[in-house]
Amino acid sequence: MPSPNVTKGAKAKGKTGAKASAIWGGRFAAGPSAVMAAINASISFDRRLYAQDIAASKAHCAMLARQGIIAKADARAIAKGLDAIKTEIEAGRFPFKTELEDIHMNIEARLAEKIGAKAGRLHTARSRNDQVATDFRLWVRDAIDRADRGLAAFQAALLARAGEHAATVMPGFTHLQSAQPVTFGHHLLAYVEMAERDRGRFADARKRLNESPLGAAALAGTSFPIDRHATAKALGFERPMANSLDAVSDRDFALEFLAAAAIAAVHLSRLAEELVLWTTPQFGFVALSDAFTTGSSIMPQKRNPDAAELVRAKSGRVIGALNALLIVMKGLPLAYGKDMQDDKEPVFEAADTLELGLAAMTGMVADLAVNETRMREAAGAGHATATDLADWLVRKLGMPFRQAHHVTGRIVRLAEARGLGIEELSLAELRVVEPGITAEVHRVLGVRRSVQSRTSFGGTAPANVRKAVTAAALRLRKRGMG
């Protein structure tokens, strides 16, 4: 009677003629179908883990030798073989094989080809479960460091432009309606702060990530006298993970990375959206050069901000990656399920997308040509200094703010009826609404005076902006560029 693991009617090689797997074939008489082989293999994407897999294998091998679990001569041969394999991969000469499923078995099989049977000793006291968890943590840790460097470069570009435009007046918006004048430097500093929080989220995720699963084996630990603290230290982890079940089943580190990446991508998307708006003729606040724009196949006058639009679009892919992995993990019992093979592709794609988006936005910020005249003209539109008038009524006439708000609203209505800005109304016209108003009020109705008056901590006054740029630049230097 055929084994229940063999497709009905198939003999030892199965209907496809496939041989039993060299990885786990001792249990199985026949090999997987072509469809099973295709869905099961991950080498097409997890080959990106090769450097981390080799580093973890070398740490594991060295520990096994120190503990007397394998012979030192075998350990030296294994380490030398792994180094040679890394060279092959980086030179593009490595023969990746889909039938070996993943990066772990591709490397182990190649090691056997190079050094013979002693290669099999490397997998003593570990499983692919703790192996992949270790490799993936190492890769995400590196991705966090790359993201941090990208964010630091983005901050540096923003700070350079903010310093140049500390006093450049522009409209500040709420509801995309002109609200109060601000400076362009102040506006850019808002994104410096967002990027700082992004860096903090990645740093926090890195701290929690930095524990080693290696040595947890399949799920229960191992009976071999291994030293998990030694392998953790060798790989730069703070400590080994405390529970073997958690060690192989946890993907919180990947979710935290994706959450931080998604928030950072949203920040990039918001600035990208503003660049799309600001480069239109209707706004005309900034222009991008040929380096970050494209033309139209039919309209020769067009200059499209495609780089900004693509950053805006790609944020959805990062957000989608977070959702995808949350959904993969939400129903999994402990410990490992093959579902978790699908953890890597969204993380890889999100990391790539974020790094590209950061590079693009950093380039665009440096590339911007700012139309200061157009910004200044727009800053006074829509009665943007109305709040300054209300504040003046409070300070000079002692009005409660709500009364001053009401009086100012009536003055705005009068200005709109006349087709004027409130700063263009005569003193006599202002006094029709509020007799106590004096000629001094015109000192606060200009947009430059408005921004100069916003001296509260975190406000838009040019002096504040210059101080904030200096403080942020110092913080960036102290923390390092990633």
End-to-end Cα separation, the chain, in angstroms? 63
- Distance, in Å, from the CA atom of 437 to the CA atom of 434, rounded to the nearest integer, reads 6
Here the tokens at position 77 are: 């041969």
Q: Is 453 a catalytic residue?
A: no
Could you say which DSSP state residue 333 is in? P
Task: Give the 3-state secondary structure of residue 240.
Answer: strand
Task: Give the 3-state secondary structure of residue 280.
Answer: coil
Could you say which DSSP state residue 384 is in? T
Beta strands in 297-454 (DSSP E): 369-370
- Distance, in Å, from the CA atom of 251 to the CA atom of 345, rounded to the nearest integer, reads 13
Cis (ω within 30 of 0) for the bond into 254? no
Q: Closest Cα to residue 246, out of 130, 147, 149, 161?
A: 130
Residue of 175, 223, 297, 456 with catalytic role: 175
Residue 56 has, within 13 A of its CA and on its CB side, a CA count of 29
> For the chain, how big is the Rg over CA atoms in Å?
31
User: What phi and psi, each to the nearest 5 degrees, are found at residue 418?
Assistant: -90, -10
Could you say which DSSP state residue 99 is in? G
- Distance, in Å, from the CA atom of 87 to the CA atom of 82, rounded to the nearest integer, reads 9
Residue of 44, 296, 406, 426 with catalytic role: 296
Q: Tell me how far the alpha carbon of residue 326 is from its chain's centroid.
A: 17
Q: Is 296 a catalytic residue?
A: yes
Q: Catalytic site residues? A: 175, 296
